[in-house]
Amino acid sequence: MSEAVLILLLSNAVKAGTILLYPTIGEIFSERAGILNLGVEGMMLIGAFFGFMITHITHNPYLGFLAGVMAGGLASLIHAFISITLRGNQIVSGLALTIFGAGFTTFYGQQWINMNLEVSFSPIALPILSSIPFIGDILFKQDIIVYLSYITALVMWFVLYKTTIGINLRAVGENAKASNAMGVSVYKVRYFWTFFGGLMAGAGGAYLTIGYAPFWLDGITAGRGWIAIALVIFAMWDPLKAVLGAYLFGSINALQFQLQAGGTTIPSAILNMLPYLVTFIAIVISSIIVKAKHIRPPRELGIPYSREEK
């Protein structure tokens, strides 16, 4: 494999990773606030569909992207309402959201199958940064949505660990009652970050259909939402580690095709399975690390909160 091939493959891997990075960051924050949202796959599908549709209608990929982001956010409010206001079971509600997203987009997406987008995000080479050998070609000749994901990861890391917002958020996920006593509105915090999780899932989905595919297809996310949830554990609820995880998976995705093109003797069915197989392995490894380092999920993850209950 020559260097030029490697660069192109890795830059494709970053694009594939971006699809996972957004929802992973979103889910990290939702879980940090104590809300487990298993509806990522469904929210991504909704974001993917609306992103595609609006881009197709308006011929403006940025408007489409924004629509996909908002659609993902709105979908998450269903989960927020059930798990925060009604204090329902978060696992059931999240699964229902995934099923709803799949059904909704399959039904309304029928007439959009086999249309392709004439417009997409165009790559922009960043001055100075893009002239770094190797790294510059991979990371800094991408499109604006990829750059936005770098910024999101950095900013959100800062927000989580270095601001009052982050402290409040973490406190709510660890001990809602105590944060309430401190004057933090648990409901508001949880609603906001669940909504944020939805926006991010929508962003991942919209990037998939506008920037990556660019097609619409039933179930186009193909389990990426679930991989994102797994990546949250892999990243140990840290937005910067999520970057690593997302690109690792992007690379595996690109690798399976490269191995085939090079005439490998590994059966293609096994190569197709790789991303899911690696998810499994990654979870096992990171669970061991999590245990060894005494890192654990937010203490009140998945537990409904009520101000009235003493």
* Nearer CB in complex with other proteins: 96/217: 217
One of 265, 293, 294, 308 touching other proteins (CB under 8 A): 265
- Which of 1-9, 26-34, 35-43, 297-305 is the region at the interface with other proteins (rule: CB under 8 A)? 1-9
When binding is defined by CB under 8 A, the residue of 60, 85, 272, 306 that contacts other proteins is 272
For residue 113, the minimal CB distance to other proteins (Å) is: 5
| Interface residue with other proteins, options 243, 254, 278, 301 (CB under 8 A) | 254
| Residue 257 interacts with other proteins (CB under 8 A): yes or no | yes
- Beta carbons within 8 Å of 183's beta carbon, 6+ residues apart: none
The interface region with other proteins, picked from 151-159, 180-188, 225-233, 250-258 by CB under 8 A, is: 250-258
CB 217, min distance to other proteins, A = 6
**Residue 287 binding other proteins, by CB under 8 A:** no
Q: How far is the CB of 1 from other proteins (least distance, A)?
A: 8
Does 129 engage in binding with other proteins (CB under 8 A)? Answer: no
Total residue count of the chain as it appears in this document: 310
Closer to other proteins at the Cβ: 198 or 214? Answer: 214
Contact between 268 and other proteins (CB under 8 A)? yes
Segment lying near other proteins (by CB under 8 A), choices 36-44, 53-61, 176-184, 267-275: 267-275
Helical pair 239-261 and 3-32, crossing angle rounded to 10 deg: 140
Site track 210-229 with other proteins (rule: CB under 8 A), x = hit: --xxxx-x--x-x-------
- For other proteins, the binding residues in 5-24 under the rule CB under 8 A are 5, 8-9, 12, 16
- Concatenated DSSP letters of the chain: --HHHHHHHHHHHHHHHHHHHHHHHHHHHHHHTT---TTHHHHHHHHHHHHHHHHHHHS-HHHHHHHHHHHHHHHHHHHHIIIIIS---HHHHHHHHHHHHHHHHHHHHGGGTT-B-S--PPP-PPTTGGGSTTHHHHHSSS-HHHHHHHHHHHHHHHHHHHSHHHHHHHHHHH-HHHHHHTT--HHHHHHHHHHHHHHHHHHHHHIIIIIIS-B--TTTTTTHHHHHHHHHHHTTT-HHHHHHHHHHHHHHHHHHHHHHHTT-SS-HHHHHHHHHHHHHHHHHHHHHHHHHTT--S-TTTT----SS--
Residue 134 touches other proteins, criterion: CB under 8 A: no
Q: How far is Cα 308 from Cα 310, in angstroms, rounded to an integer?
A: 6
Residue 215 has φ and ψ, to the nearest 5°, of -140, 165
Q: Applying CB under 8 A, which part among 33-41, 57-65, 172-180, 258-266 lies near other proteins?
A: 258-266
Contact with other proteins (CB under 8 A) among 60, 85, 110, 287 = 110
In the window 139-178, what residues touch other proteins (CB under 8 A)?
none
Whole-angstrom CA distances from 146 to 14, 31, 142, 208 are 8, 24, 6, 12
Of the candidate spans 36-44, 126-134, 237-245, 252-260, the one that interacts with other proteins by CB under 8 A turns out to be: 252-260
Stretch that binds other proteins, among 127-135, 265-273, 277-285, 295-303 (CB under 8 A): 265-273
The site for other proteins (CB under 8 A) is made up of 4-5, 8-9, 12, 16, 110, 113-114, 116, 208, 212-215, 217, 220, 222, 253-254, 257-258, 260-269, 272
